[in-house]
Amino acid sequence: MKISDLSNIRYLLCKFFAMILFSASVTAVSGQKILRVGVAGLTHDHVHNVMHQFKSGEVIIAGIAESDPQLISRYKKSYQLPDSLFYKDLPSLIAHTHPDAVLAYNAISEHLGVVEICAPKGISVMVEKPLATTVKDANRIAALAQQYHIHVLVNYETTWYDTNQQIYEMVNSGAIGAPRKMIVHDGHEGPKEIGCSPDFLNWLTDPVKNGGGAIRDFGCYGANLMTWLMKNKAPVSVTAITHHIKPNVYPKVDDDATILLEYPDATGIIEASWNWPFSIKDWEVFGVSGYLHALNDKVLLERTKKSYDSIPVHPATYRDNITYLQDVLSGKINSDDDLSSLSNNLIVVRILEAASRSAKEGRRIAL
């Protein structure tokens, strides 16, 4: 055998093993290919989550649609991202990369625009909570999803809390009887106070781009969880009050809200604030025979007439949005009525819009 032939064999073997290694690098543990996602916008600080998932190999970022030079520069530097990942707009990104799905990290009022671009291309979308700022936009999103047979899903931090998933399981198994009262506290010291970026604050504190202040930013969590526990049934009515405790910091929007949801046999109370001394995302459910309290994502308390103890929390099936999205797109699971579902989040937007109206008009809003 000639030396040149040996060289060719070595070259082919190296190429073969390189292909194997590359294939392995883009294949999840489950045997599925890792999702290739497009990122629409960088103004939402939650985008750091997908950047960390990208750096740890959990997802492939096919491209990023962003037109702001300073944002592009900041993220390129922070995450060592190449110039080739960036596109001036979402249509350009889709045309060049053909992603499996698009993740929206822009203002809530811009979610509809993302779906309008992606839906005709058959590309599913996951937006950060809430789905939309208005019922009109939410209904348009739903119509596009139905017309083009795509998934439109909503990502909430609290969806991936093991404790919340366990409350749902326990209530549905009859562990505390039928739910009669639900209370959700969501909030922190304020987005400016905790150090949110100026780009995020710019639209988060805008009454049009975010739809409101704390009433939308944190009110959506409780509306989402309660709609889920009530089997995707809308409340009979919504009543809300808001406060403007820090007008010098947040001149255009509320910074504290309380929302009351009336159901035929239950009551929901949502407390949302940018004025608390610490960050909190908890959930209390009072049933006919017992009480459950998820203090956070890891600690769950159960109380009956005879006991009041912390109970073991088992891991939820899904711990993050990427593995969930992957299984939805592959058809492994059905997302028709879960926390991320369109059906749930259409009701969430109805609740939030009614809450804003109630606070403004000072009256109970019937749904």
Question: How many other CB atoms sit within 10 Å of the CB of residue 308?
Answer: 11
Q: Is the pLDDT of residue 185 over 50?
A: yes
Which residues, including other chains, have CB under 8 Å from residue 223's CB and lie 6 or more apart?
Answer: 130, 259, 261, 270, 347, 348, 351, 352
Q: Percentage of the chain surpassing pLDDT 70?
A: 91
Say which residue the tokens 């909430």 belong to.
156
- Residue type present at position 282: D
pLDDT in tens, 155-170: 999 999 999 999 999 9
pLDDT in tens, 268-299: 999 999 999 999 999 999 999 999 999 999 99
* Environment class of 273 (CB within 10 Å of its CB; exposed 0-12, middle 13-18, buried 19+): buried
The rounded distance, in Å, linking the Cα atoms of 111 and 115 is: 6
Confidence of residue 12 (pLDDT cuts 50, 70, 90): very low
Q: What is the DSSP string of 293-349?
A: EE-SSS-EEEE-SS-EEEE--PPPS-SSHHHHHHHHHTTSS--SSSTT-HHHHHHHH
Beta bridge partners of 181: 267, 286
> What is the per-residue pLDDT for 31?
56
- The mean pLDDT value for 347-357 works out to 98
Which residues, including other chains, have CB under 8 Å from residue 98's CB and lie 6 or more apart?
Answer: 62
Say which residue the tokens 């403007």 belong to.
244
> What is the per-residue pLDDT for 3?
40
How high does pLDDT run on average in the chain? 93
> What is the per-residue pLDDT for 163?
98
> What is the per-residue pLDDT for 32?
65
What separation in angstroms does the CA of 262 have from each of 113, 232, 236, 254? 33, 14, 5, 23
The rounded distance, in Å, linking the Cα atoms of 15 and 9 is: 10
Q: Is the pLDDT of residue 217 over 80?
A: yes
> What is the per-residue pLDDT for 256?
98
The rounded distance, in Å, linking the Cα atoms of 257 and 210 is: 15
- The mean pLDDT value for 7-14 works out to 42
Q: Is the pLDDT of residue 247 over 70?
A: yes
Confidence of residue 201 (pLDDT cuts 50, 70, 90): very high
Yes or no: say if 179 and 286 are a contact pair by the CB < 8 Å rule.
Answer: yes
Confidence of residue 8 (pLDDT cuts 50, 70, 90): very low
Beta bridge partners of 300: 294, 311
> What is the per-residue pLDDT for 46?
98
- The mean pLDDT value for 225-239 works out to 98
**157 DSSP assignment:** G
pLDDT in tens, 78-102: 999 999 999 999 999 999 999 999 9
Yes or no: say if 260 and 210 are a contact pair by the CB < 8 Å rule.
Answer: no
Q: Is the pLDDT of residue 22 over 50?
A: no
- The mean pLDDT value for 30-37 works out to 80
Confidence of residue 33 (pLDDT cuts 50, 70, 90): confident
| Structural domains present in the chain | 3-156 (3.40.50.720), 158-316+336-366 (3.30.360.10)
- Residue type present at position 267: T
DSSP 3-state of 7:
helix
